[in-house]
């Protein structure tokens, strides 16, 4: 057993992780929770949810707080605590004003497809099961149903539809035959994902529609709105659905540059007035909410049932938050440290926060600073009494900040990789917005959206120019499976080329292109198989790059992005992206000519002493792993060798421990890191960073 000081010296700073994201992305990496923090807000929201469950009347709450107060994190706590009482939906900011209902429907169904902790089935199947169970109970009570409605899912589809139409004939289900038919298909393993794709508004291929026995996809705002309303029209038989709107600094903007918040509150008013069994939580920074509230119509104000403000936390709660982060280290120390927040103490908190109040992020940042200061003191030989001087704190130097950013990127990238496995996870407007964010950051000239005009596919397009070149470049990105839609996109391309014959077009599409019998395919051949136009077949990895960057952009706009010991705004994030050159790994940006194409190393054969020797490329992940090792040491300064290896193995499963040890030796030979006690057993070795001149 090691002493607490030995553990601290060898460990990763437990305060390095700042998270603010979609709670369905974070569910596999739970954070320590302090129940007393914002307990009043949680109790208020829980009580409101209980009211919705009781009378099924939709209610709206405003969740406001300053940057760092923990709004996104609180939404995750609510989902974790109350998921057994409601179905939770996370709705990111909408990219286009003209497709808000489709955006809400898409992310509602996406969230309903998630499996809650402790459950085997998705929220959507649990919702359907509760509908059936409630119908059965109602049927027994009223003697309306003579058969067991639970057998309906195993019955003929037509019989299922007719039975449900009869049960819900009074509530006016939109497209009842189609909607109930899709609900029946949810219980068919072969059709489940197709049914979900239809519900979320994907523009399905003709074959997929035929498999569902449906003629068309949800392709209008009205259809999306009414489909969402269908969930409320059978609300009396289910638990409430909680719609969480978050990170609204990144929503679409009007032509004058102002946020389209009013559009969201128009939506809220309509749901509030017409739909049942929803609890709507709109998360906003306090200053934005105050400014918008002054401009709101009274009718919209009346649809906000309550404002729930996240107040500063007290020092006792701050201590509990520190203790939750330090528990994993303190619990394995022998002897046990004198305080659960060692190496911090209450006096430090009182000096740092003399008013006795602060917010969770400031507490975490303070813990990060003191822990690192104490670690440096230990490494220097523990001379004299440890004292930290806040005035001596300096922001991370450029090397450390860049290293911390690369670590943050890798964490976010891995989450995105696990969650996003197909292109149609995002709508075309989402994809175009993500691409636009990257182009802006890479300082591409004359970016304009949309390229297309006079078509409902305008949001599928953008244009830009390359530095030093005068010609306009247009991009259209469509992954819609429907060939009729593909035809109209090709028609929009034709129209754009007639307007400006000098335009160079790029079609981004991984989905099928159809065949010679499809008019869309015929147009595609005429345009994109001839110079200078191009068809790019993207790799899903490119979407991971773009989605990861967009996630960081949203955090930066909210004031919630912390890298190292610094809160990073959007401009600083853009600078870090350019300095790190991280987006150079995105093959789509290479294909568009935005960044220089990376030439993959190939296997070659060379002669050495008249003997042929095969030289093979570096195995996948090894170069990235080496970079990770250096970055982790750069941010920690001192770290146990075995902890460094464990963390590298958790991030790069394709790289073996022996390969990691080779990489450590290479970094030592390059004078970037140093093993302080090389003669000690590997498990006892300590690695430090070599300062660079």
Reference 196, options 186, 204, 187; nearest CA is 186
Tell me the sheet residues that pair with 505.
474
Alpha helices, DSSP H, located in 186-280: 192-199, 206-212, 221-233, 261-274
Longest dimension (CA), the chain: 93
Q: How confident is the model at residue 630 (pLDDT cuts 50, 70, 90)?
A: very high
Distance between alpha carbon 107 and the CA centroid of its chain, in Å? Answer: 12
Strands (E), 593-672: 604-608, 611-615, 638-640
φ/ψ of 475, rounded to 5, equals -125, 135
Q: Say how far apart CA 172 and CA 234 lie, in whole Å.
A: 10
| Half-sphere exposure for 99 (CA within 13 Å, toward CB) | 22
The fraction of the chain above a pLDDT of 90, given in percent, is 76
In this predicted structure, the answer to whether residue 143 has a pLDDT above a threshold of 50 is no
Q: Say how far apart CA 144 and CA 158 lie, in whole Å.
A: 19
Which residues lie closer than 8 Å to 412 by C-beta, 6 or more apart? 21, 548, 551, 552
In this predicted structure, the answer to whether residue 607 has a pLDDT above a threshold of 90 is no
Enter the pTM of the model: 0.92
514: tokens are 């159809």
Q: Say how far apart CA 178 and CA 197 lie, in whole Å.
A: 14
Residue with tokens 């179905």, as numbered in its chain: 87
Q: Sign of torsion, CA 176 181 184 186? A: negative
Q: How confident is the model at residue 615 (pLDDT cuts 50, 70, 90)?
A: low
566: tokens are 């610094």
Task: Tell me which of 149 and 341 has the higher pLDDT.
Answer: 341
Least confident of 282-296, 316-330, 585-599, 653-667: 585-599
293: tokens are 């509230």
In this predicted structure, the answer to whether residue 541 has a pLDDT above a threshold of 50 is yes
Mean predicted lDDT score pLDDT of the chain: 90
Q: Say how far apart CA 275 and CA 57 lie, in whole Å.
A: 8
- Helix count and strand count (H, E) for the chain: 26, 19
Residue 20's pLDDT is: 67
Q: How confident is the model at residue 621 (pLDDT cuts 50, 70, 90)?
A: confident
In this predicted structure, the answer to whether residue 565 has a pLDDT above a threshold of 90 is no
pLDDT in tens, 26-73: 654 455 678 899 999 999 999 999 999 999 999 999 999 998 899 999
b (16+ CB within 10 A) / e for 554-578: bbbbbbbbbbbbebbebebbbebbe
Q: How confident is the model at residue 599 (pLDDT cuts 50, 70, 90)?
A: low
Strands (E), 585-665: 604-608, 611-615, 638-640
Q: Say how far apart CA 308 and CA 327 lie, in whole Å.
A: 31
pLDDT in tens, 465-522: 998 787 899 999 999 999 999 999 999 999 999 999 999 999 999 999 999 999 999 9
The fraction of the chain above a pLDDT of 70, given in percent, is 92
Element of type H or E holding 62: strand 59-65
- What's the mean pLDDT in 541-570? 94
Length of the chain: 693
Q: Say how far apart CA 647 and CA 353 lie, in whole Å.
A: 34
> What are the C-alpha distances in Å from 614 to residues 369, 412, 618?
49, 37, 13
Residue 170's pLDDT is: 87
């Amino acid at each position: 057993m090691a002493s607490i000081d030995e553990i601290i010296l060898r460990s990763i700073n437990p305060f390095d992780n700042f998270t603010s994201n979609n709670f369905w992305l974070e569910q596999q990496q739970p954070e320590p929770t302090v129940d007393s923090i914002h307990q009043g807000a949680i109790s208020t929201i829980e009580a409101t949810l209980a009211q919705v469950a009781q009378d099924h009347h939709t209610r709206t709450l405003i969740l406001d707080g300053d940057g760092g107060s923990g709004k996104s994190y609180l939404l995750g706590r609510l989902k974790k605590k109350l998921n057994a009482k409601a179905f939770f939906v996370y709705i990111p900011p909408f990219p286009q004003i003209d497709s808000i209902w489709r955006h809400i429907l898409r992310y509602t169904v996406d969230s309903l497809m998630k499996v809650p902790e402790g459950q085997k089935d998705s929220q959507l199947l649990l919702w359907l099961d509760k509908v059936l169970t409630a119908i059965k109970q109602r049927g027994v009570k009223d003697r309306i149903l003579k058969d067991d409605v639970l057998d309906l899912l195993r019955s003929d589809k037509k019989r299922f539809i007719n039975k449900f139409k009869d049960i819900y004939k009074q509530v006016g289900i939109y497209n009842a035959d189609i909607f109930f038919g899709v609900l029946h298909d949810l219980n068919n393993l072969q059709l489940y994902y197709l049914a979900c794709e239809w519900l979320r508004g994907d523009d399905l291929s003709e074959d997929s529609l035929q498999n569902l026995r449906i003629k068309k996809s949800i392709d209008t705002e009205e259809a999306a709105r009414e489909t969402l309303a269908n969930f409320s029209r059978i609300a009396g038989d289910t638990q409430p659905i909680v719609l969480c709107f978050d990170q609204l600094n990144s929503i679409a903007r009007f032509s004058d540059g102002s946020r389209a918040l009013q559009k969201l509150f128009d939506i809220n008013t309509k749901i509030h007035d017409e739909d049942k069994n929803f609890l709507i939580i709109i998360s906003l920074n306090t200053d934005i909410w105050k400014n918008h509230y002054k401009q709101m119509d009274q009718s919209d104000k009346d649809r906000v049932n309550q404002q729930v403000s996240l107040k500063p936390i007290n020092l006792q709660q701050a201590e509990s938050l520190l203790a939750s982060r330090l528990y994993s280290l303190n619990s394995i120390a022998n002897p046990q440290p004198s305080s659960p927040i060692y190496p911090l103490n209450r006096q430090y908190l009182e000096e740092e926060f003399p008013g006795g109040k602060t917010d969770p992020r400031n507490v975490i940042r303070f813990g990060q600073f003191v822990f690192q200061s104490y670690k440096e003191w230990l490494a220097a030989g523990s001379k004299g009494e440890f004292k930290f001087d806040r005035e001596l704190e300096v922001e991370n130097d450029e090397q450390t900040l860049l290293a911390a950013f690369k670590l943050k990127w890798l964490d976010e990238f891995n989450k995105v990789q696990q969650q996003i496995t197909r292109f149609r996870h995002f709508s075309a407007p989402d994809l175009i917005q993500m691409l636009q964010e990257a182009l802006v950051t890479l300082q591409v000239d004359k970016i304009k959206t949309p390229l297309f005009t006079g078509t409902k596919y305008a949001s599928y397009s953008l244009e830009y120019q390359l530095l030093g070149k005068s010609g306009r470049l247009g991009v259209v990105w469509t992954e819609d499976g429907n060939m009729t839609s593909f035809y109209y996109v090709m028609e929009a391309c034709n129209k754009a080329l007639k307007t400006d014959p000098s335009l160079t077009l790029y079609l981004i599409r991984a989905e099928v292109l159809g065949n010679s019998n499809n008019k869309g395919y015929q147009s595609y051949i005429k345009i994109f198989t001839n110079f200078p136009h191009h068809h790019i077949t993207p790799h899903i990895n490119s979407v991971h790059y773009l989605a990861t960057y967009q996630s960081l952009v949203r955090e930066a706009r909210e004031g919630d992005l912390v890298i190292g010991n610094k809160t990073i705004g959007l401009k600083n994030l853009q600078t870090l992206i350019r300095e790190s050159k991280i987006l150079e790994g995105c093959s789509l940006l290479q294909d568009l000519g935005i960044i220089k194409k990376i030439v993959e190393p190939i296997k070659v054969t060379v002669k050495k002493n008249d003997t042929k020797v095969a030289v093979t490329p570096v195995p996948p992940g090894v170069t990235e792993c080496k970079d990770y090792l250096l970055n982790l040491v750069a941010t920690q300064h001192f770290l146990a060798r075995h902890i460094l290896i464990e963390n590298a193995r958790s991030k790069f499963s394709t790289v073996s421990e022996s390969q990691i040890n080779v990489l450590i030796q290479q970094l030592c030979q390059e004078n970037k890191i140093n093993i302080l006690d090389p003669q000690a057993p590997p498990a006892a070795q300590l690695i430090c960073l070599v300062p660079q001149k």
